[in-house]
Amino acid sequence: MENLSPNASCSTGPGELCGPGTLRRAQQLKIAKQKEKEWLKAQRSRDRMGTQTSSYKRHITFEDSVVLLEAAARNDIAEVAKLLQKGVTPDATNMDGLTALHQCCIDDNAEMLNLLLDYGANVNAQDSERWTPLHAAATCGHLNLVKILIARGANLLAVNADGNMPYDICDDEEALDYIEAEMSKRGVTQELIDETRAATETQMLHDLQDIALQGGDLEIPDPQGATPLHIASANGYTRVVEFLLEHHTSTDAVDNDLWTPVHAAACWGHLEVLEMLAQSGADLNAKNKNDETPSDICEDPEIRERIEQLKTEQESKRLAEAQRKRVRRSQSNNTRAQSVRRTSLRDKGLTTKKDAVEEARFRLQAQELFGATVSTASEAYARTHGTSGAAAVGVPNFSPRRRSLHYPPRKHLRSIACARN
C-alpha cells in the first residue's frame, strides 16, 4: 500500500506529486490517477487479446470523458486538445470528483492548465472532498500554477472538507507569500476568513435548530445512511456536534457501511469531536462493514493513541460508576442493620429494667420467707442454747448492694444481644 502520511515526500517531475509537506489528499489524488491508468491499461489489454474461440473481434468503446481524463493523466496535450475540439466537456470527473484541471495542477503542467481553462474548465471545480485546483496547486507549491489560477478567477477563500483554505495548506514560502499578498489586495480580513470558514457549519446549525423548534427528527439519514451527526463529525463541526448531543441524538447510529459518527471523526482526524463523542458514551470499539474499528481507519498515530486513552478513560468511568452503585447499596443495607441493632439495644434495656424489678420482688419474697424460717429456728435454738438464732445459724445479709442474682432470663437476653451484635 502507498504511504499516505502527510509528511511523505514526493518528486516534482511531470506526472509526479509535489515536494515535501504534501498533504494526504494530494497523495490520494495521485493514487486515484494511477489506479485509473491501470484500469484503462487492463481494459485495452483485454480488448487486444480478445478470445480464441470468438469468430469476430470485439471492440470496447470508452466514453469521451473517460478518454479525456486518461489523456490528461498521461499529459497527452494533443489528445486532450483533440477531444476538447470535439466538444468534450473539460469538467468531466472520475469517481473521486477529480477533474483534468485538478490533475494538471498536481502534475505541474502549465500548458495543460491553460488549454483546459481556454476551453471553459471550471477554475473552482471541487472534488468529493471539496478541493479546488488552487488547493492542489497550493499544497504542491507550484507557484506558476497558483499565479495562473488566481489570474483566471480562482477563489482564494474556498474551503475544503477539512475546513482549510488554499493558504492553510501551502508549505512553499514563495507560493504562500503570493497567495497572502493577493488576499491582501482584495481586502480580505481575518474576520472575513473566519466567517467564510464557519459559513457551512453555521448554516447547518441554523437548519438543525429550525428542525428542532418544529419538533422534527434530528436523525434523518441521507441516501448513504449518514445522519447529521455523521456529517458534523466527518467535517469537524464542533458546534453542530454539541447541539446534536445536547438533543440526545444517537452516538452509535450507523450508515450504509456501518460507520458510526466515531468512525467519521477518526477517519478525518477531528480529535475534539472524538472526545465529545467519547464523553457522551459513544462506542469506540464499534466495527464497520469491513470489521474495522475507528482506530483501524485512523491514519494519524497521535489520534490513534488518543483513541486508546479514551477507551481506558471510558472503562475507568464505568468501573467507578459501578463501584459507586455498590457503595450506595452497602450504605443502604448498613443503615437497616444499624436500625435493627438500635432496636435490639432498646429492647435489651427495657428487658433489663423489667428483669431488675422482678429480681427485687423475688428477693423480698425470699427474704420474707427465709426470714420467717430463720426467726422460728432461732427462737427454738435460743430456747435450747440461749443465743441469737440469726447469729447462731450464720444467715447472710441479702442486701442487693452486696449480692447480685443472675437469672436465666437475663443470661438468655445477653446471649441474644451478643448474637445480634
Q: Is the domain covering 1-47+60-188 a CATH 1.25.40.20 domain?
A: yes
212-265 confidence digits (pLDDT tens): 999 999 999 999 999 999 999 998 999 999 999 999 999 999 999 999 999 999
Alpha carbon 395 to chain centroid distance? 92
Domain boundaries, the chain: 1-47+60-188, 339-420
- Distances, alpha carbon 10 to alpha carbons 83, 139, 219, in Å: 30, 12, 42
Look-up of cell digits 447469729:
391
Q: Which residue has the higher pLDDT, 26 or 73?
A: 73
Kindly state the average pLDDT of the residues 350-365. Answer: 63
- With 0-12 / 13-18 / 19 or more C-beta atoms within 10 angstroms meaning exposed / middle / buried, residue 224 is exposed
The model carries a pTM of 0.57
Can you say whether residue 280 is alpha, beta or left, with left for phi > 0 and alpha for psi between -120 and 50 degrees? alpha
Contact assessment for residue 150 and residue 44, using Cβ atoms and an 8 Å cutoff: no
pLDDT > 90 fraction of the chain, expressed in percent and rounded: 55
Helix H or strand E encompassing 323: helix 301-385
Split at pLDDT 50, 70, 90, the class of 65 is: confident
Q: Which residue has the higher pLDDT, 145 or 47?
A: 145
Mean pLDDT score across all residues of the chain: 78
Contact assessment for residue 143 and residue 172, using Cβ atoms and an 8 Å cutoff: yes
Low-confidence winner among 17-26, 77-86, 176-185, 392-401 (lowest mean pLDDT): 392-401
Low-confidence winner among 150-154, 214-218, 316-320, 334-338 (lowest mean pLDDT): 334-338
C-alpha cell recorded at residue 252: 452509535
Please give the pLDDT value at position 318.
85
Look-up of cell digits 475507528:
294
Kindly state the average pLDDT of the residues 381-403. Answer: 40
410-420 confidence digits (pLDDT tens): 233 333 333 33
Please give the pLDDT value at position 24.
59
pLDDT > 70 fraction of the chain, expressed in percent and rounded: 63
Which of 134-155 are b and which e, b meaning 16 or more Cβ less than 10 Å from the residue's Cβ? bbbbbbbbbbebbbbbbebebb
Please give the pLDDT value at position 317.
86
**What is the DSSP code (8-state) at residue 99?**
B
169-195 confidence digits (pLDDT tens): 999 999 999 999 999 999 999 999 999
C-alpha angle 65-70-72 in degrees, rounded to nearest 5: 95
133-155 confidence digits (pLDDT tens): 999 999 999 999 999 999 999 99
Please give the pLDDT value at position 291.
96
Q: Is the pLDDT of residue 52 over 70?
A: no
Q: Which residue has the higher pLDDT, 405 or 296?
A: 296
Contact assessment for residue 162 and residue 234, using Cβ atoms and an 8 Å cutoff: no
Q: Is the pLDDT of residue 272 over 80?
A: yes
69-80 confidence digits (pLDDT tens): 999 999 999 999
Q: How far is the C-alpha of 48 from the C-alpha of 40, rounded, in Å?
A: 12
- Distances, alpha carbon 42 to alpha carbons 45, 52, 64, 72, in Å: 5, 18, 18, 18
Kindly state the average pLDDT of the residues 204-216. Answer: 96
Torsion sign (Cα): 309, 311, 317, 323: negative
Q: How far is the C-alpha of 66 from the C-alpha of 70, rounded, in Å?
A: 6
98-111 confidence digits (pLDDT tens): 999 999 999 999 99
Please give the pLDDT value at position 162.
79
Q: Is the pLDDT of residue 61 over 80?
A: no
Look-up of cell digits 435489651:
348
Would you tell me the crossing angle of helices 173-185 and 133-140 to the nearest 10 degrees? Answer: 140
Q: Is the pLDDT of residue 51 over 70?
A: no
Please give the pLDDT value at position 288.
96
